[in-house]
Chains A and B, each alone.
Chain A
Amino acid sequence: MKNKLTIVARNEFWATVKRRSFIITTALFPAIGLLALAGFAIFQAIDTADDEPEATTVGYVDNSSLFTDVWQRSLITYEPVPDREAGVQALLAEDLDGLFVIPADYLATGIVERIQERQAGIPGFGGADLMLEQFLRENLVAGQVPPDLQERLLSPAVVNTVEVDPEGQPVDEPFDVGRIFFVLLSFLVLMSVFMSAGFFQEGLSEEKETRVMEILLSSTTPKDLMLGKLFGLAVVGLAQVAFWMVFATALIAGVQASGILDLPPELELVMPPLALLPVGLLYFVLGYLFFGALQGSLGAVTSSHREAQQMTVAIIMPGIVPFWFLAPVLGDPEGTLSRVLTFIPFTAPVTALLRMGIDGIGALDLAISLGILTVSTLLAVLLALRFFQAYLLMYGQRPGLRHMVRTVVKGQA
């Protein structure tokens, strides 16, 4: 004879994964990912097409007698033009792609005149415009300073950042793009937790509204029913997040292997450090059980899905608070705000995952956070159990607050 908790859990799992809303939502994120990649590919293709090498010839009229030679870098050539009129004619005839006039007092004023045909849009020559400064600089310092000094004058610094730990020692591993996984994971966890917990409450409301509940309770205990549903939906949530992560990894790996897109190499690190994975998993499970038990309690005390949905906001809102404070948490992961949010059970799962993602949480904070969350989850499950025993057969009415308090304290009403 099978354990009834297992039967309920399995039933809940299959009933949920067959739901249209679950299938659509689960497929939505991969679809968004595919669309984003497709968009990126289209953008890259257009960008690449725009970047087709094309020789550009820019004319300059030098009235300052500082520049005389033809100057060429890459595909851009600056060539002298005898006078302004000749330059304009060449520009209109499209023999030149651009024209600058360097006045006699250029050295004193720094002003250069650009001449162009009247056109719509923002004036300028794109790459040629940028290269003007390099053309001017190189010509101005040529022969004036030693070559190595000339090089530094033209390119003064390449900044290379080194991070140090609190002891002042250089950190071997700089910021790991792969840890962005945890930021993504925290969002997905929140989505999945709320979805699964929502399905729990929705299913419960349906069973109350359709009166299936009485048949269920004549076949199993409220405890097996509640825990079976909770565990069944936890597996749904885990499977959903796992599917999303595997899909994302496979997609990136596939794209990189095929060379369809020129992805940043850091994306190879999308998989998280394995040591942190169990902690992330623990936060997911505890977070789901905590929110799920609260949603289940709500489903037990309310008389309809609609009523339960209206009250769900009170549970969900605290859960998304960490995303309101994303900047301060990521900016100061060891700060007071980050730590407080890590210890409050409603905000702990997301905040802890965010901090883990940027290596901003210590072992002590993790231990305290997990401890509080575990105790809170146990209390939430006990609360749900009490409400299941007392209110599952209460149709069309909601118990008062005093009654609920008495139920929590004394047990079955």
Chain B
Amino acid sequence: MTAAQPATRTAALAVDGIWKRFGDNDAVRDVSFAAEHGQVLGVVGPNGAGKTTSIRIALGILAPDRGGVHVLGKPLAQHSQEHIGYLPEERGLYRGRTIPDTLAFLGELKGLDRSEALRRADSWLERFGMAPHRSKKVGELSHGMAQLVQFTATLMHDPALVVLDEPFSSLDPVNVRLIKDVILDLRNEGRALVLCTHQMHQVEELCDRVVMIDEGTVVLDGSVDEIKRSYRGDTVAVVCDPAPNGLDGVADIRKENQTYMMRMLPGTTPRSILQQLLGQGCEVERFEVVLPSMEDVFVKVVGSRREE
């Protein structure tokens, strides 16, 4: 789970052992990951870790020095781009052009006829509540509205693989909810989604699998649940009556509302704590090993690598 998994060629996107060097710096070293149909894959990592380079290689924007990419089971080629929707982190549109002009051009580049592009664009703009602004120039839109236009450009050609880099930045809570719904709908339709973000709570909420890249290599790859379990902490949460007292192997106990948070000493197991509680005649309503948040995992993994 922690090492780079061999990418499967049946996946919607399979990145297989890619390397990329810029000058004297290896930006990406033997990175592999796969995005399956009907799943959201989170790609996370600190700034400068090699995420953007990996994504650009996966999309065919950059060529790898070694390794390869398969999209929908076939080696990445120019026609693959028509099956991919990409929302880059650093985004923008032609400010002086109208929304239809812009979307028609971007739609044509994705293989749509101009009229079909405009028809589909209208449909998405309607869904995003942008229909009243349809004929405006991009420069007249707010940042958030422009982002919704970019979402339209990303999705209008009905891509099987959708890559979203920081999709929630500069969106208000209503639009964040709207985009989350769209992401989940797309997943339920069987599309593969790749979500690059620093917002770990979004990863927990939306992603089925997570790949963490640090210093150009994959340091974590697995389902969100697997990762959290493997990084579970040293704390158990207990709701019981009466209050626990004099437990062996517990470093300290703090009370949060009705819950006792017990930090275990190294070598202590949750089972031994539970047995002691039951032995003291405590009525245990809740006993749970506290799983770390993805943010905790992120900090722990990256932090420990920095210390090495």
Taking a contact as CB atoms closer than 8 A, the residue among A15, A210, A219 that contacts B109 in the complex is A219
List 12 A-B pairs, Cβ < 8 Å: A4-B78, A7-B109, A210-B93, A212-B94, A215-B86, A217-B61, A218-B81, A219-B81, A221-B78, A412-B63, A413-B22, A413-B23
Within the complex, the shortest CB–CB distance from A67 to chain B, in Å, comes to 80
Assembly CA distance A212 to B111 (angstroms): 18
Q: B245-257 CB contact bits vs A (8 Å, 1 = yes)?
A: 0000000000000
Q: How far is the CA of A393 from the CA of B59 in the complex (A)?
A: 14
Name the one of A8, A15, A215, A412 contacting B91, with C-beta atoms under 8 angstroms.
Answer: A215
A397, chain B: closest CB distance, angstroms? 12
**Also in contact, A219 and B106, with CB within 8 A (given A211-B88, A214-B88, A395-B90):** yes
Q: A217-B61, A218-B60, A393-B61 are in contact. Are A212 and B110 (CB under 8 A)?
A: no
Q: How many interface residues does chain B have, given as a range?
A: 20 to 34
Expressed in whole angstroms, the minimum distance between the Cβ of A6 and any Cβ of chain B is: 10
Judge whether B94 and A7 touch: CB under 8 Å.
no
In the complex the two chains form, is A7's CB within 8 Å of B88's CB? no
Q: Are B91 and A220 interface neighbours, CB within 8 A?
A: no
A1 close to B (CB within 8 Å): yes
Identify B95's interface contact among A4, A210, A403, CB under 8 A.
Answer: A210
Q: Which among A1, A15, A218, A413 is the interface contact of B88 at CB below 8 angstroms?
A: A218
B59 contacts A218, C-beta separation under 8 Å:
yes
User: Chain A contacts of B97 at CB under 8 A?
Assistant: 15
Q: Which 7 A-B pairs have the closest CB atoms?
A: A210-B92, A219-B109, A211-B92, A214-B88, A218-B86, A211-B90, A217-B61
Asked if A216 is at the interface (CB within 8 A of a chain B CB), the reply is yes
Chain B residues, Cβ within 8 Å of A403: 23
* Closest chain A CB from B20 CB (angstroms): 10
Name the interface size band of chain A: 20 to 34
- Is B92 within 8 A of A212, CB to CB? yes
Tell me, yes or no, whether A410 is within 8 Å of chain B by CB: no
**B106–A215 CB distance below 8 A:** yes
Q: Could you tell me if B105 and A218 are in contact, using CB atoms closer than 8 angstroms?
A: no
State the Cβ distance, B65 to closest chain A Cβ, in Å: 10
Contacts of B153 in A (CB 8 A): 215
Asked whether any CB of chain B lies closer than 8 Å to the CB of A97, the reply is: no
Q: Does B220 contact A (CB under 8 A)?
A: no
- For the complex, what is the distance from the CA of A37 to the CA of B92, rounded to whole Å? 47
Of all chain A residues, the one with the shortest Cβ separation from B165 is A214
List which A213-239 residues lie within 8 A (CB) of chain B: 214-221
Within A1-48, the residues touching B (CB, 8 Å) are: 1-2, 4, 7-8, 11, 15
- In the complex, what residue of chain A is closest to B110 when comparing beta carbons? A219
Give Cα A210 to B143, complex, Å.
Answer: 12
> What CA separation (Å) do A214 and B92 show in the bound complex?
9
Q: Closest residue of chain B to A4, judged by CB?
A: B109
* A7 partner, pick from B23, B86, B90, B105, beta carbons under 8 A: B105
Least CB distance from A204 to B in Å reads 12
User: Would B111 and A1 count as touching, CB distance under 8 A?
Assistant: yes
CA distance A217 to B61 in the complex (A): 6
Q: Which residue of B lies closest to A6 (CB)?
A: B108
Verify if A206 is at the interface (C-beta below 8 Å from B).
Answer: yes
Query: Known: A206-B94, A210-B95, A214-B61. Is A220-B88 also a contact (CB below 8 A)?
Result: no
Report B83-115 CB contacts with A as 1/0, cut-off 8 Å. 010101011111101000000011011110000
Q: Are A215 and B95 in contact (CB under 8 A)?
A: no
CB contacts (< 8 Å) of B198 on chain A: these are: none
Q: Is B56 at the interface (CB under 8 A from chain A)?
A: yes
Smallest Cβ distance from A199 to chain B, in angstroms? 13
Contact yes or no, B56 A211, CB < 8 A: no
Q: Are B109 and A214 in contact (CB under 8 A)?
A: no
Using a CB-CB cutoff of 8 Å, which residues 258-287 of chain B contact chain A?
Answer: none
CB distance from A401 to the nearest CB of B (A): 14
Shortest Cβ distance from B97 into A: residue: A15
A393 adjacent to B93 (CB under 8 Å):
no
B90 partner residues in chain A, CB cutoff 8 A? 211, 214, 395
CA distance A212 to B101 in the complex (A): 14
Complex: A15 Cα to B106 Cα, angstroms: 13
**Given A210-B92, A210-B95, A219-B81, 13 extra CB contacts under 8 A:** A2-B108, A7-B105, A7-B109, A211-B90, A211-B92, A214-B90, A214-B91, A215-B86, A215-B153, A218-B61, A220-B81, A413-B22, A413-B23
- CB-CB nearest in chain A for B95: A210
| Cross-chain contact A11 with B84 (CB below 8 angstroms) | no
Question: Inside 8 A of A206's CB, which chain B residues have their CB?
Answer: 94
Which A residues lie within 8 Å of B56 (CB)?
393
CB < 8 Å neighbour of B84 from A218, A220, A395, A413? A218
Instruction: Indicate if the CB atoms of B22 and A11 lie closer than 8 Å.
Output: no
Partner of A210 from B84, B94, B111 at Cβ < 8 Å: B94
Q: Give Cα A400 to B108, complex, Å.
A: 36
A158-169 CB mask vs B (1 if < 8 Å, else 0) is 000000000000
Interface hits, B194-253 → A, CB 8 Å: none
Q: How far is the CA of A180 from the CA of B245 in the complex (A)?
A: 107
Measured in the bound complex, the distance between the Cα atoms of B92 and A218 in whole Å is 14
CA distance A217 to B55 in the complex (A): 13
Cβ of B21 to closest chain A Cβ, rounded Å: 10
User: Which residues of the partner chain A approach B95 to less than 8 Å between Cβ atoms?
Assistant: 210
Most-contacted residue by chain A among B59, B62, B92 (CB, 10 A): B92
Closest A residue, CB atoms, query B111: A1
Q: B11 to chain A: closest CB distance in Å? A: 19
